[in-house]
Chains A and B, each alone.
Chain A
Amino acid sequence: MSVDERKAPAPYSNPYLAGIGLGLVLLAAFVLVGRGLGASGGFSALVAGGVSAVAPAHAQRLEWLSNYLLPGTNPLQEWLLFEVVGVFAGALLSGLLAHRVRLGVDKGPRAATGLRLGMAFAGGALMAIGAALARGCTSGQALTGGSLLNLGSWVFMMMVFAGAYGLASVVRWQWR
């Protein structure tokens, strides 16, 4: 699709209808496989696979990744990694249908691209550490555990909002 031909992006869905769709996908996961959605676990499996490919002996010493590196298993044959690849495909499909696939950097008009990318990298690293400590991210803990009334998930969810609201004013310049 050339630049001239592309249509204006469609408006986003009603949040409640999108939420019901998301909830039904989550329910399907519970019913089909007895587990919920996730994202950060897919990243962990990828790192486990990467390290064991580059330095297998070193990978065996990484205790935290040991669950992904059991003898006789391939870390890349991980449920969450397949699910994350599906997320990519599903989002691409939805984006194409709604004419919302655009190459670019999401930021405020006055923020410098390099700085924004640096912030994105730092934010990603922070979230990986947070998700590792919390045994899950917004998908695996807040969404999945939230709907199962998991005690730790609800505590985690409130803390995510607290952390984000607490720091929001400091990083507002990215979006102005």
Chain B
Amino acid sequence: MIAPFLKYGAFGDQASLVVAFLIGIGFGFALERAGFGSAKKLVAQFYLTDMAVFKVMFTAIVTAMLGVTLLSWIGFLDLSLVYLTPTFLVPQIVGGLVLGAGFVVGGYCPGTSVAAAATGRLDALVLMLGALAGTLLYAEAYPLVKPLHEMTPMGAVTLPQYFNLPYGLVVLAVVLMAVGGFAGATWVERWMASQGASAPAAGRPGRGPRVNRRLAAAALVLGVVAVAAQPTRAGRVTVASDELAALAARGADQVAPTELADWIIAGRADYRLLDLRADTEFAAYRIPTAEHVPIARLLDSGLARNEKLVLYADDGVKASQAWFLMKANGYKGVYMVTGGLDGWKAQVLFPRLLDGTTGEAQRENALLRSRAARFGGTPLAAGSAAATPAAAPMPVTPSVAAPSLPGGAAKAPARKKREGC
């Protein structure tokens, strides 16, 4: 396993910017070749006179999809190290509708506007200015839209995972859908032309239908091959010692028990909580929503390396060992619950109430009480020398209903720079 090259340390972050520029050149070149530097050509998709947007986009999707599937099958590319944007269902539905509306109003999508501006389209340049204004507006108005922005987090999840289907089968389904869609799109274009609609800025149909049929046949063959392909998820990565040390020093590898409690209450699903203790201990008590993964099975339990994983055991030691083990094996988003289950007891189930009558202390105490009650614990009175948290009787694992209290979601721990678009 040697790819992604950047993540296996073949080059550094500075060099990756040069790579970014070169990849951008290829991207821009392909967009302009396809005719996507013209708004009339692009929007013809939505008037059914020229379906090039659909054809180019789905050909690109099929090409890259077959590529990653087959390269990861032969053990060249570690697919679990390729960044997968987390799914937030509701904001992505709303965002898609808004972006689609903007596309047909403005005539370009963000990427094609850059290609169009490069070839002298002033409307594309104005659209880019509009996009900058819209971005600034969003950043300024973020406190207002944040509840919508963070609604329905589902974590990094693929269609095969969500529908519990073999990866290769979904790949074949996409290929079949695309090839069928191309035939349908061509039929629609012909029908529209026969109705007298002129195809705006239509290009030459290429080297003819024979080439297209051969390409479709090749895609279908590769799609059938892909059914056998299970993307490999094993492999080794180099340990970036400096990065690990920096994470540990900043405490960025930790999730506070109270923070975790707030995530559970808010019904967040963009992370997985893993209990590393023995079977009997897990059966006796576990933090609600936790999954049981003994440390010995951690690396072959099918966890994806681009998922956000939160680990805990009794105290911090076992979890730290597991954290390092996972980091050394290329798991990107691994965190520990601070203090493990002991920390959970001391801060969530049986927290010591603050001594004080100030408004702030009262508010904090109310929060501690409601959290403890929610998870079946009881706060300890301030200053009392009563039972230590560890000795207190453990509550029966309460079932916590998914999405309930809104607005309780805590801020996620500081991440490295975003990789998404």
Cα A141 to Cα B96 with chains together (Å): 10
Asked if A2 is at the interface of the complex by the 8 Å CB criterion, the answer is no
Are A82 and B21 closer than 8 Å at their CB atoms? Answer: yes
Chain A 149-163 interface residues, beta-carbon cutoff 8 Å to B: 149-163
Which chain A residues lie closer than 8 Å to B134 at the CB level? 124-129, 132
- Given the interface pairs A22-B56, A132-B95, A151-B158, the reply to whether A168 lies near B43 with Cβ below 8 Å is yes
Shortest distance between the CB of A74 and any CB in chain B (Å): 11
Are B138 and A128 closer than 8 Å at their CB atoms? Answer: yes
- Given the interface pairs A28-B26, A132-B135, A137-B99, the reply to whether A79 lies near B20 with Cβ below 8 Å is yes
Across the two chains, which residue of chain A brings its CB closest to B99?
A130
Asked if B63 is at the interface of the complex by the 8 Å CB criterion, the answer is yes
Are B7 and A161 closer than 8 Å at their CB atoms? Answer: no
Chain A 85-110 interface residues, beta-carbon cutoff 8 Å to B: 85-95, 98, 100-108
Across the two chains, which residue of chain A brings its CB closest to B47?
A168
Are B204 and A43 closer than 8 Å at their CB atoms? Answer: no
Are B29 and A91 closer than 8 Å at their CB atoms? Answer: yes
Are B105 and A171 closer than 8 Å at their CB atoms? Answer: yes
What is the interface of chain A mostly: helix, strand, loop, or mixed?
A: helix
- Given the interface pairs A117-B122, A144-B421, A148-B84, the reply to whether A86 lies near B102 with Cβ below 8 Å is no
Cα A130 to Cα B148 with chains together (Å): 12
Chain B 1-49 interface residues, beta-carbon cutoff 8 Å to A: 3-7, 16-35, 37-41, 43, 45-47
Shortest distance between the CB of A165 and any CB in chain B (Å): 6
Are B27 and A127 closer than 8 Å at their CB atoms? Answer: no
Asked if B77 is at the interface of the complex by the 8 Å CB criterion, the answer is yes
Which chain A residues lie closer than 8 Å to B128 at the CB level? 43, 124
What is the interface of chain B mostly: helix, strand, loop, or mixed?
A: helix
Cα A73 to Cα B128 with chains together (Å): 25
Shortest distance between the CB of B339 and any CB in chain A (Å): 27
Cα A44 to Cα B108 with chains together (Å): 18
Are A162 and B120 closer than 8 Å at their CB atoms? Answer: no
Which chain B residues lie closer than 8 Å to A46 at the CB level? 132
- Given the interface pairs A41-B418, A168-B47, A172-B47, the reply to whether A127 lies near B103 with Cβ below 8 Å is yes
Which chain B residues lie closer than 8 Å to A30 at the CB level? 3-4, 64, 67-68, 77, 82
Shortest distance between the CB of B89 and any CB in chain A (Å): 7
Shortest distance between the CB of A140 and any CB in chain B (Å): 2
Are B203 and A143 closer than 8 Å at their CB atoms? Answer: no
Are A15 and B101 closer than 8 Å at their CB atoms? Answer: no
**In-complex Cβ contact of A106 among B61, B102, B123 (8 A):** B123
Shortest distance between the CB of B178 and any CB in chain A (Å): 10
Cα A95 to Cα B46 with chains together (Å): 24
Can you name 20 A-B residue pairings with CB atoms under 8 Å? A22-B63, A31-B71, A34-B81, A40-B135, A67-B415, A90-B28, A90-B31, A106-B38, A117-B126, A123-B104, A126-B105, A135-B95, A148-B68, A153-B85, A154-B159, A159-B97, A166-B97, A168-B46, A171-B104, A175-B40
